[in-house]
Structure 1
Amino acid sequence: MSSETDHDLFADVDLGWEHRKNRIFLGIIFAASMFGVVMLALLLFDVATDLYVGLTEYNINLVDFLTRDGSRREELSGFRGAIVASIMLMVLVTFLAFFVGVGSAIYLEEYAPDNRITRLIEANLANLAGVPSIVYGLLGLAAFVNGVGMGPILLAGAIALGLLVMPIIIVSAQEALRAVPDGVRNGSLATGATQWQTIRNVVLPAAMPGIMTGTILALARAIGETAPLIMVGAIFINRMPRGPFDRFSAMPTQIYNWANEPSQHFIHLAATGIVVLLSFLFVMNLIAIYIRHRYETEI
């Protein structure tokens, strides 16, 4: 009886057309995926070509490039100040965003009641993670550079980038905390541990690999952002910053400045800087993949 009913249900279905639709859909999503891969390959090929021309025809020395500060003279210009500024930015952003972000995630997941206000805060955090970066640059310009009177210093850029990545860190930390089984929490509480002892000694160690992975990926986004730094005034500085209250020019803004110069030599310097920046991003992503892989293996 059941087989006859199933036969009646599919009697009017053209299975050949259904299979063709499935193949068409598979072809569309494959083409969409390959489009992104091909565009990325073309961009990398263009950068690699400019780098090769710069090394061979314009005699760009990588050692000098990495050990000299910026200069208006193309033959003397280097990337050291921009590299140091970007590293200092990442250190400051980590201190500004990591503890606040993880603390907020702990409160929302472990302490905050499940009510409409909490759900509204979480929805807004998810929306803030997708806000264009230039908005955070405008916020940094209005609130800190001009409002507080900091000026275009490295600390102002770090605050703008910290505000940019903080929602990402909070969301990724929340996901890592949710991944910890409730049985682990209940087992700790059953032994007489307080809620804070359970969070500190049981939940956080289990969630920390996921938290660290999300934080590293957020910092990898921050290190390549240009718009917030341009808005706070990190345009061109031909010296290495000595502290958080110095003016600066980070790797993305230095590349942006070189790319706008009419001289072809500066264009090839920009390509060399792009390769250095991509190397930083590649290493940061490798670290995140390693932490995630090790965490999944232990689980």
Structure 2
Amino acid sequence: MRWNNLISVAAKEKIAFGALFFITLFILAPVVVVLWIIFKNGISAINWEFLTAMPKEGMRAGGIFPAIVGTLYLVVGATVCSLPLGILAAIYLSEYAKENALTRLINLAIVNLSGVPSVVYGLFGFSLFVVFLKFGASIVAGSLTLAIMNLPVIITSTRESLKAVPDYFREVGLSLGASRWQTVRHAVLPFALPGILTGTILSIARAAGETAPILFTVAAFYIPHLPHSVFDQAMALPYHLYIIATQIPNIPNSYRYGTALVLILMVLLMNLVAIIIRSKFRRKYKW
């Protein structure tokens, strides 16, 4: 009887794993198809001139270099602004703040902010940075808007990573006479870094691909030169792709797909760098 039960459990386990495998394939198949279509139609447009030249002939020819540079400025600016603030906020909420109604309300607000549509962040950034603070449509306004949009993701991932570190790490540090900050700095934070970098990867991907926030705060329709300061407008790949796909007639399809392919490759490259760094920390800090 027990042998029959074991066979039944093993069969059910195989059926469950098989079902999960086919569900995974079903989810991945559309992604692979979309990437293949973009690659197939866009690879012919990728060359040195396309990546390094200025747009010309009403963006029907030339390259997308200003859009690439503008996207890099926005992603770097948003990450530099959001990452320190998000990590510090998560450390306070996880390690210092007492569990009460106020902190529960703050945590609920952070989770809810993760689901706010990006267009709402764009309107908020326009009202605060462009109009009220008079930054104008500029790189700094766009970067700060994207940073605010990324904060909930970074705070949530950092807080969960800190909570995953066992409490005895903290107890050992405190028992040896270290202050709470010294314990967090040396005994908790290094082991939470892989999870923090996961949140960073998600925020980079979102910042690089968003159109609505930069539409209100920084993106320009056409600028045939690079920005001279952080208070200048800039082109960006997501908005540039929208423009050439909907507003520019008689443009080759390869140009549109090539722009999309460059954006995807940029996001993948930035994520790859973050993943490599995360892997190094995981190997260095094992527990």
TM-score of the pair, normalised by structure 1: 0.82
Cα deviation for residue 262 of structure 1 reads: 1.7
Structure 1 residues 268 and 202: CA distance shift in structure 2, 3 A: same
Tell me what 1:130 maps to.
Answer: 115
**Which amino acid counterpart does residue 152 of structure 1 have in structure 2?**
A
Quote the offset at 1:292 in angstroms.
4.0
Indicate the SS of the match to 1:264.
coil
Residue 203 (structure 1) aligns with:
188
2-side partners of 1:147 and 1:49: how far apart? Answer: 46
1:110-259 paired onto structure 2 within 5 Å: 110-238=95-223, 239-259=225-245
Unaligned runs of 5+ in 1: 4-14
CA RMSD, 1 decimal: 2.5
- Alignment map for 1:36-47 (pairs within 5 Å): 36-47=27-38
Cα distance in 1, alignment partners of residues 263 and 109 from structure 2:
31
Aligned residues: 274
Cα distance, 1:160 vs. partner? Answer: 1.1
Point out where structure 2 has 5 or more consecutive residues left out of the alignment: 2-7
| Greater gyration radius | 1
Identity %: 37
Which residue of 272, 280, 288 maps to 2:258? 272
1:287 aligns with 2:273: yes
Structure 1 position 184, deviation (Å): 1.1
Q: Is the 8 Å Cα contact of residues 180 and 206 (structure 1) preserved in structure 2?
A: yes
In structure 2, the residue matched to 1:62 is: 47
Farther off after superposition, 40-49 or 93-102: 40-49
Moved more, 231-240 or 255-264: 231-240
Q: Deviations over 1:101-121 (max 9, x none)?
A: 111001101110011110111
The amino acid across from 2:37 in the alignment is D
Q: Which moved more, 1:80-89 or 1:195-204?
A: 195-204
Structure 2 letter corresponding to 1:221: R
1:4-23 → structure 2 map (5 Å cutoff): none
Cα deviation for residue 205 of structure 1 reads 2.0
Looking at both structures, which has the greater relative contact order when contacts are Cα pairs under 8 Å and sequence separation is at least 6? 2
Q: Distance in 1 between matches of 2:87 and 2:67?
A: 29
Determine the C-alpha separation between the residues in 1 that align with 2:60 and 2:49: 10
The CA deviation at 1:235 is: 3.5
Contact 1:217–1:284 (CA<8 Å) still a contact in 2? no
Q: Deviations over 1:118-173 (max 9, x none)?
A: 01111111111121111111111122222222221111111111111011010111
- SS of 1:253's partner is helix
Query: 2:244, 2:251 within 8 Å by CA — same for their partners in 1?
Result: no
Helix, strand or coil for the counterpart of 1:247?
Answer: coil
**CA–CA separation in structure 1 for the residues paired with 2:184 and 2:73:** 31
TM-score (norm 2): 0.86
